[in-house]
Amino acid sequence: MRKTSTLSAGLGTVAALVLAIGLGGCAKNQTQMNGPSLYEQLGGQSGITTVVHAFLINVGKDHRINAAFAHANLAHLQAQMVAYIGEKSGGPQIYTGPDMYQAHKGMHITDAQWNAFVQDLGATLKQEKVPELAQSELLGILMPKKSEIVGH
Stretch (H or E) spanning 134: helix 132-142
Q: Is 130 in the site for ligand HEM (CB under 6 A)?
A: no
Q: At what angle do helices 44-61 and 111-127 cross, to 10 degrees?
A: 130
Q: Is 80 in the site for ligand HEM (CB under 6 A)?
A: yes
Out of 31, 39, 51, 104, the only residue in the binding site for ligand HEM (CB under 6 A) is 104
HSE of 49 in the Cβ direction (CA atoms, 13 Å)?
Answer: 7
Q: What's the DSSP call for residue 124?
A: H
Task: State in angstroms the smallest separation of the CB of 22 from ligand HEM.
Answer: 28
Q: Is 55 in the site for ligand HEM (CB under 6 A)?
A: no
Burial class (CB in 10 A: 0-12, 13-18, 19+), 54: middle
Out of 86, 90, 91, 117, the only residue in the binding site for ligand HEM (CB under 6 A) is 117
Interacting residue ranges for ligand HEM, rule: CB under 6 A: 65, 68-69, 72-73, 76-77, 80-81, 84, 97-98, 103-104, 107, 109, 113-114, 117, 142, 145, 149
